[in-house]
Amino acid sequence: MKTAFIMQKEIRESILTPKGFLWYILTSVILSVLSYLFLTNRELSLLDQGTMLYMIMNFITALGVLMGLVLGADAFAGEIERGTLEALFLSPVKRREIAAGKLCAVLTNWGIIFAISLPYLYIVGKGGQNLLPGILYLGVLGTLLSLIFSAFSMGLSARIKSMKNSLIISFFIFLLAGAPIFLSAALRRTWFGRIFDLLNPFADAVNTFDSVVIDSQGLSYQTGRVAIICIYTLLCIWFLKRSAAKVQM
């Protein structure tokens, strides 16, 4: 129950604010521009519809992860810097309840981004292949990725106690996770590229979207990658729990 109050506080603090809404309006504007370009621009509009859907899904996932990282970096370090964490720690709330409340708020943020993206996914994927499986996989894997990266960033913020530093490290991790996008196809086919792709939860999610939406492959093809994402989720939640328990003023 206390987790719910913390979550409610976090939502009011981070989401139902001008800053929060600005993020959502920007998300929606970017998705509007992308969808319009995909569907009307001469070259882009003639991309295969599955490819368009896949590209939009990647963008939404990256956005959710990025916002999760920022909110996670603020979770403990931001409160310490603003001097509000001490009062929270004085109250009879367990550290893990605080962490869980904050994590749930980040998931709510992801839920809002996902909800914002649904009309765009529909108009881009309508009449094409695998729209529904695509949305389903985006919902599940996006939630797990959001958990992974925000829990990690939150744990880091609890240990480092500096919002600036935890943000820098979190962004570095985000870039590292997004690196496969920048790697050439040839490099990704090398043993290094393959291992990096497999061990990178972001790449696992992107490759799963590719497999589901473009290649129309079923669940049995996805189990390995989804299992790796699940393992990362558990590891990061464990890291957050440990880090939150150790926070001292």
Instruction: Decide whether 46 or 219 has the Cβ nearer to another protein.
Output: 46
Using the minimum distance from each CB to another protein, give the nearer residue, 76 or 149. 76
**Whether the Cβ atoms of residue 249 and residue 86 lie closer than 8 Å to each other:** yes
Residue (126 or 164) nearer to another protein, CB: 126
**Is the torsion defined by CA of 248, 108, 65, 164 positive or negative?**
negative
Given a contact cutoff of 8 angstroms between Cβ atoms, the answer to whether 45 and 39 are in contact is: yes
Which one, 13 or 204, has the nearer CB to another protein? 13
Task: Answer whether 135's CB lies under 8 Å from 50's CB.
Answer: no
Q: Rounded CA gap, 194 and 116, in Å?
A: 33
Interface contacts to another protein, rule CB under 8 A: 1-2, 5, 9, 12-13, 16-18, 21, 24-25, 28-29, 31-33, 35-36, 39-40, 42-43, 45-47, 79, 82-84, 86-93, 116, 119-120, 122-124, 126-127, 248-249
Q: CA–CA separation, 198 vs 208, rounded Å?
A: 11
Q: What's the CA gap between 177 and 13, in Å, rounded? A: 28
What is the torsional sign of CA 241, 17, 4, 234? negative
Query: At a CB cut-off of 8 Å and minimum separation 6, what does 141 contact?
Result: 61, 205, 208, 209, 226, 229
Q: Residue 82 or 164: which CB sits closer to another protein?
A: 82
Task: Write down the least CB distance from residue 232 to another protein, Å.
Answer: 30
Q: Which is nearer to another protein, 119 or 224 (CB)?
A: 119
